[in-house]
Structure 1
Amino acid sequence: MKLQGVQKTNWMGIGIFVLLVLIFPLVIPTSFYITQITFVGIYVIVAIGLGLLMGYAGQISLGQAAFYGLGAYTSAVLTTTYGVSPWISLLFSILVPAILAFILGYTMSRLSGYYLAMATLAFGFIIHSVLVEWRGVTNGATGLYGVPQIPFFGITLSQGINYYYFVWFFAIVVMIIAFNIVHSRVGRALRSIHDSEIASSSMGVNTGKYKMQIFVLSSMFAGIAGWLFAHMSYSISPSSFTLEASILFLAMVVLGGSSSIWGAVIGAILIRLIGIVTQTLGEHFTFITSDFEQVLYGLLLILVIIFMPRGLVPTLSALFSKRMKTKKEVIKETETASVNFSK
């Protein structure tokens, strides 16, 4: 992939975002909020992969939680059962979801749209069942305990500021990779597939190849996020990788806007913020429970789908661009009128 694509990336926007990430623990040093925003970084990685798959390749997946769980369990099993270094297990957390995504994508290469969504939904159920029933390896519904923390240049990364920066380093690298893809020849091919697969095929675009590549890439991102989640938590269980998690990832992308990398990032932040707000309010008001959080998710999604069907970021970006264009036109007309008057 050529570097020319990177030059089109909004580096100023990324720079401002990185600055906000860096100063957040300094402004809000509370451990609860640092942990929650660390989870946001993990969700951003999954959401970006799903956003590339949906918004650019036009493929709907309800199985991202399965790849997320595969990444987490692969590392947890290797480190707790076999004593493998977490850094070595990272390679397997990327490789195992990628191989299964390739097999799944190859066998379902002719499926698209809702048919693919149903296929990935079934795949998610299968993986969840394996995690629950393969007790000899996964310890069943009880899950795995004692997942080791990650050693990093003589220090051990645990929950807190260190792990916060560690997670967001991966999240920002994934963002840059995604922007590079979007603004490259591959990104243009993916957008053509999203608009019309038949038309792009007639123009010589290898649609099957690009769809497969982006499907595998999205699973690799989910595997990295699973690895980060496993070593952030002392224990993991199948309950973290259910259909509900896949729908949550889908909601992040739809809310923010599937046709924008920033949309996936903003969607992940907003969804987690809703959870933080409801959890905080639930400590003071008994009627606010986890069910109330699901109601807020549903209500927000309904409002966005009705009034902003493209998602928050693309819609607001289009409105801002329109206003700026209108403002420039008004200024130009004013200047033209002034020149004519002076004549």
Structure 2
Amino acid sequence: MDGVHQTNWIGFVVFAAIVLVFPLIATQSFYITQATFAGIYTIVAIGLGMLMGYAGQISLGQAAFYGVGAYSTAILTVTFGLSPWLSLLFSLAVPALLAWILGHTMARLSGYYLAMATLAFGIIVYVVLVEWRSLTFGASGFYGIPTLELFGLRLTPGIPYYYFVWIITLLIMSLSFNIVHSRVGRALRSIHDSEVAASVMGVDTGKYKMQIFILSAVYAGLAGWLFAHMSYSISPGSFALNASILFLTMVVLGGSTSVWGAVIGAILITVITVIVHALGLRYAFITSDFEHVLFGLILMLVIIFMPRGLFPTLVDWITAQRPKEREEQQKQREESA
């Protein structure tokens, strides 16, 4: 195990411990609920971060896969009476199938062209969710989504669902760390650095890009499944373009070249959202439009001053400080001698 991989696992253990003790510190249900949403968003952000930071593909359609996962379980459990655990398979398979079709359709696109194509896909899915009223109930939303039960325990919103979501999120983090540090992860990094050079070296760039695109869609579908069974009701507005921009902001803020960047970005954006809503209750001029302006400003500032994101920039700064500290310690030893 190399040093970076070992450091990741040490950080993972510390982070998992913080997640486990958080409900003991923040006893108010509001904070538990927001922390649960942070876990759900983290799953989507990790998938998008791996797609952007490792495969070099920009997607503005993650909210569509997120929504498809949520509506798949809502339709199957409410309309057809299936078990939520059985509907989970469809919440993973349907986004994966759509990603496979989309990936083959847009195989020759990259960069901004791919971003615009995924943006169009997100808009199409949103319109379908609004207009197909006989199946999705349109803009009014889908109600009566059942609560999850695990070994006889009802996973109601609050501490039970918090732990359920974050255990799944930690498993997703663990899986993603293993992928990043595997042969597949090295191939993806080579594609991100130079797709032409990777192809010359024998890397099947099309296969790996397709695989990571499908994986990011599966992550989003899983998050949608978790969101639907936490909220009991869903509506198309939760899966519009604003949600895709929100996920993109998380990844860009934290840093797309690291799984930790996606985690940190999702948590920070959730905290910022909570602060904005709290200020909105106090100051009338702070509305939902203010939140959109703030996220746009964050995106702009990060791209200008921290193009790699918060986490990689922080790691680079710490790494640069270590030689200086060693030099100072060496000087002090020489002076004392």
Give me the TM-score of the superposition, normalised by structure 2.
0.96
Map 1:154-165 onto structure 2 (within 5 A): 154-165=152-163
Cα 1:7–1:317 change in 2 (3 A) is closer
Match of 1:267 among 265, 268, 288: 265
Contact 1:256/1:265, CA 8 A, preserved across alignment: yes
The Cα shift of 1:170 comes to 1.0
Cα 1:321–1:200 change in 2 (3 A) is same
Q: Which range is displaced more, 94-103 or 321-330? A: 321-330
In the alignment, structure 1 residue 244 sits paired with structure 2 residue 242 = yes
The Cα shift of 1:4 comes to 8.8
The Cα shift of 1:294 comes to 2.0
Alpha-carbon distance in 2 for matches of 1:326, 1:17: 28
Deviations 1:124-147 (A, max 9, x none): 111111111111111111121100
Alpha-carbon distance in 2 for matches of 1:324, 1:93: 46
Map 1:278-297 onto structure 2 (within 5 A): 278-297=276-295
SS at match of 2:282: coil
Map 1:13-24 onto structure 2 (within 5 A): 13-24=11-22
Match of 2:60 among 36, 53, 62: 62
Alpha-carbon distance in 1 for matches of 2:113, 2:321: 40
SS at match of 1:45: helix
Match of 1:153 among 140, 151, 154: 151
Deviations 1:287-323 (A, max 9, x none): 2222222222222222222211110000011001110
Alpha-carbon distance in 1 for matches of 2:181, 2:165: 25
Map 1:188-207 onto structure 2 (within 5 A): 188-207=186-205
Contact 2:249/2:298, CA 8 A, preserved across alignment: no
Contact 1:54/1:258, CA 8 A, preserved across alignment: yes
Alpha-carbon distance in 1 for matches of 2:115, 2:5: 34
Alpha-carbon distance in 1 for matches of 2:71, 2:98: 14
Map 1:105-120 onto structure 2 (within 5 A): 105-120=103-118
Contact 1:8/1:183, CA 8 A, preserved across alignment: no
Q: Which residue in 1 is equivalent to 2:37?
A: 39
The Cα shift of 1:274 comes to 0.9
Contact 1:274/1:293, CA 8 A, preserved across alignment: no
Q: How many residues align?
A: 337
Contact 1:282/1:289, CA 8 A, preserved across alignment: yes
SS at match of 1:236: coil
Q: Which residue in 1 is equivalent to 2:134?
A: 136
1:269 is matched by which residue type in structure 2? I
In the alignment, structure 1 residue 303 sits paired with structure 2 residue 291 = no
2:100 is matched by which residue type in structure 1? F
Cα 1:183–1:5 change in 2 (3 A) is farther
Q: Which residue in 2 is equivalent to 1:313?
A: 311
Q: Which residue in 1 is equivalent to 2:226?
A: 228
Gapped regions of structure 1 (runs ≥ 5): none
Q: Which residue in 2 is equivalent to 1:25?
A: 23
Alpha-carbon distance in 1 for matches of 2:217, 2:302: 27
Contact 2:47/2:216, CA 8 A, preserved across alignment: yes
CA RMSD of aligned residues (A): 1.7
Percent identity reads 66
Q: Which residue in 2 is equivalent to 1:218?
A: 216
1:38 is matched by which residue type in structure 2? T
Q: Which residue in 2 is equivalent to 1:79?
A: 77
SS at match of 2:154: strand
Cα 1:27–1:278 change in 2 (3 A) is same
Match of 1:253 among 245, 251, 261: 251
1:239 is matched by which residue type in structure 2? G
In the alignment, structure 1 residue 172 sits paired with structure 2 residue 170 = yes
Alpha-carbon distance in 2 for matches of 1:138, 1:294: 27
Alpha-carbon distance in 2 for matches of 1:210, 1:154: 40
Q: Which residue in 2 is equivalent to 1:127?
A: 125
Contact 2:66/2:220, CA 8 A, preserved across alignment: yes
Contact 1:46/1:218, CA 8 A, preserved across alignment: yes
Contact 2:122/2:240, CA 8 A, preserved across alignment: yes
Q: Which range is displaced more, 242-251 or 129-138? A: 129-138
Contact 1:9/1:180, CA 8 A, preserved across alignment: no
Contact 1:189/1:205, CA 8 A, preserved across alignment: yes
Q: Which range is displaced more, 266-275 or 39-48? A: 266-275
The Cα shift of 1:180 comes to 0.6
SS at match of 1:235: coil
Alpha-carbon distance in 2 for matches of 1:166, 1:89: 17
Contact 2:122/2:241, CA 8 A, preserved across alignment: yes
